[in-house]
């Protein structure tokens, strides 16, 4: 417990450091524009560090994600419905992000493209990439290992899918490989965590540079993006998810949110939806959903049902494109959406994994926009709570929906619990609860999905 508290304290220090760095960057860019322009390279260096992690993050999480799908499929109807639902809702969330981004155009007017670094290099790379056929040819790497070192995200994604399905076909023989990749993923995320401690420096440089060159308009536009993102997440939770929950089950999203209030507070305190995973499993079982269903839906959803992350990816991408003065055409937006449907499954919610996936989407579709990711660094941390809360709400609703569709839920008990007639016993809550499934079939799902879980 003390170790957990220490980890939370460190997270809070990073959070505070980013806030201070953003404020300092705004002041420096405003009051000393010459110096502000000179520190712009700090933001570029941080973006380069994030770019360095794109391929390993996507490879490990996609391979392990496919492993969890394989395990989930063993329980038949529950696993199949869960995966189908997750894909549909993630697509809906991505679509909502695109619609809101196109309506608000939060980055319009910044025009920072002329001040970004390496634009000519990326533009020439994009021009040399050729047409659609060349685009398809470039998906296939010269070797499996080169996909991890070339910096081409679609090649990494392609190889990750092949490796994931290959391990899936091996059955139990492939489990040691999954465990090995799980260890590699832990190493990757440990390195990513180390890099994130440099986020305040990157945020300071990027913010000072953009304010020095564009004035305080940049601050207003970033604030607009944050407010729009939070409002979109609220509408998605209480509008889309709430309406679906009411229509299918008759349960109230407001009562469900009240029932899970402590978990929401825990997520806000830690910026991590992972911190509430054991409690969500315990509370869903207490509410009347069968343990096997909960054991499949919740852990798999933590890797494959990231609605908040999906909204963030599309809105942030449109913001970067507008801010760079190079808005995305509808055809490019649809292509990006299709990419994000798959790639967002690898953004298992770490502050940084989302940034890496965002950078990966831009690198694969519009490399000339990649340096604009530095604009997001300063506010990414502020948006992580909304992402985590939306992801958590999506998985709690998914558990009740899948339970209803598979008839593995006691609806009367759910109503009684949500009406506070059967209170949850906090003294019975055990942190290890999530790793003690009732059946053998649920255990691989939780273990495989748990390997993908990192703070949001």
pLDDT band at 353 (very low <50, low <70, confident <90, very high): low
* % of residues, the chain, pLDDT over 70: 71
- Count of CB atoms within 10 A of residue 47's CB? 26
Q: What distances in angstroms separate CA 187 from CA 53, 62, 194, 272, 446, one per listed residue?
A: 11, 16, 11, 19, 20
* Predicted pLDDT of residue 208: 83
Model pLDDT for residues 119-135, shown as the tens digit of each residue: 334 333 333 434 345 54
* Residue with the larger pLDDT of the pair 400 and 138: 400
Question: Exposure of 379 by Cβ count < 10 A (0-12 exposed, 13-18 middle, 19+ buried)?
Answer: buried
> What percent of the chain has a predicted confidence (pLDDT) above 90?
14
Q: For residue range 202-228, what is the model confidence (pLDDT) as tens digits? A: 878 877 877 787 677 667 777 888 888
pTM above 0.85?
A: no
Rounded-to-integer distance, Cα 233 and Cα 222, Å: 17
- Structural Rg of the chain based on CA atoms: 22
Give the model confidence (pLDDT) of 59-86 as tens digits: 886 787 676 665 555 556 777 888 889 8
Residue 251 has what pLDDT? 93
pLDDT per position as a tens digit, 81-100: 888 898 888 888 888 888 88
Nearest to 285 by CA among 406, 77, 437: 437
Interval 403-442: pLDDT, tens: 999 888 999 999 999 999 998 876 654 433 333 434 333 3
Tell me which residue of 22, 50, 29 sits closest to 378, measured CA to CA: 22
CA distance 214 to 236: 33
pLDDT digits (tens, 9 = 90+) for 187-204: 887 887 788 788 788 878
Q: What pLDDT sits at residue 175?
A: 84
CB of 291 closer than 8 Å to CB of 445: no
pLDDT at 69: 60
At residue 5 the predicted structure's pLDDT band, cuts being 50, 70 and 90, is: very low
Per-residue pLDDT band for 330 (boundaries 50, 70, 90) equals: confident
């Amino acid at each position: 417990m003390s170790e957990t508290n220490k980890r939370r304290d460190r997270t809070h220090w990073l959070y505070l450091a980013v806030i201070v760095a953003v404020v300092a960057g705004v002041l420096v860019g405003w009051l000393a524009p010459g110096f502000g322009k000179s520190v712009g390279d700090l933001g570029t260096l941080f973006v380069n560090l994030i770019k360095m992690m794109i391929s390993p993050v996507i490879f490990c999480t996609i391979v392990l994600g496919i492993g969890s799908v394989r395990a989930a499929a063993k329980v038949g109807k529950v696993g199949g419905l869960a995966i189908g639902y997750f894909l549909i809702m993630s697509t809906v969330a991505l679509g909502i992000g695109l619609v809101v981004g196109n309506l608000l155009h939060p980055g319009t007017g910044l025009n920072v493209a002329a001040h970004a670094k390496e634009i000519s290099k990326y533009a020439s790379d994009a021009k040399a990439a050729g047409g659609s056929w060349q685009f398809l040819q470039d998906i296939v790497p010269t070797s499996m290992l080169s996909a991890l070192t070339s910096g081409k995200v679609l090649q990494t994604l392609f190889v990750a899918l092949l490796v994931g399905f290959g391990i899936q076909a091996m059955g139990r023989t492939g489990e040691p490989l999954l465990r090995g990749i799980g260890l590699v993923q832990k190493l990757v995320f440990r390195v990513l965590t180390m890099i994130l401690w440099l986020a305040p420096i990157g945020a300071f440089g990027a913010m000072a540079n953009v304010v020095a060159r564009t004035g305080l308009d940049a601050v207003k536009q970033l604030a607009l993006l944050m407010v729009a993102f939070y409002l979109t997440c609220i509408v998605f939770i209480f509008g889309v998810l709430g309406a679906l929950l009411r229509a299918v089950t008759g349960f109230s999203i407001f009562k469900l949110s009240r029932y899970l209030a402590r978990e929401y507070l825990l997520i806000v305190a830690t910026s991590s939806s992972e911190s509430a995973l054991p409690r969500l499993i315990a509370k869903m079982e207490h509410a009347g959903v069968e343990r096997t269903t909960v054991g499949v839906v919740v852990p798999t959803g933590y890797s494959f049902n990231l609605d908040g992350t999906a909204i963030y990816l599309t809105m942030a991408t449109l913001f970067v494109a507008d801010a760079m003065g190079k808005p995305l055409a509808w055809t490019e937006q649809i292509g990006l959406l299709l990419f994000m449907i798959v790639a967002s499954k690898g953004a298992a919610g770490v502050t940084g994994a989302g940034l890496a996936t965002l950078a990966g989407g831009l690198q694969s579709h519009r490399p000339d926009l990649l340096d604009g990711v530095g604009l997001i660094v300063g506010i990414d941390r502020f948006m992580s709570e909304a992402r985590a809360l939306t992801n958590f709400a999506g998985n709690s609703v998914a558990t009740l929906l899948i339970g209803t569709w598979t008839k593995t839920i006691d609806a009367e008990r759910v109503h009684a619990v949500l009406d506070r007639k059967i209170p949850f016993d906090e003294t019975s809550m055990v942190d290890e609860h999530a790793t003690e499934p009732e059946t053998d079939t649920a255990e691989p799902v939780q273990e495989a999905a748990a390997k993908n879980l990192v703070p949001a």
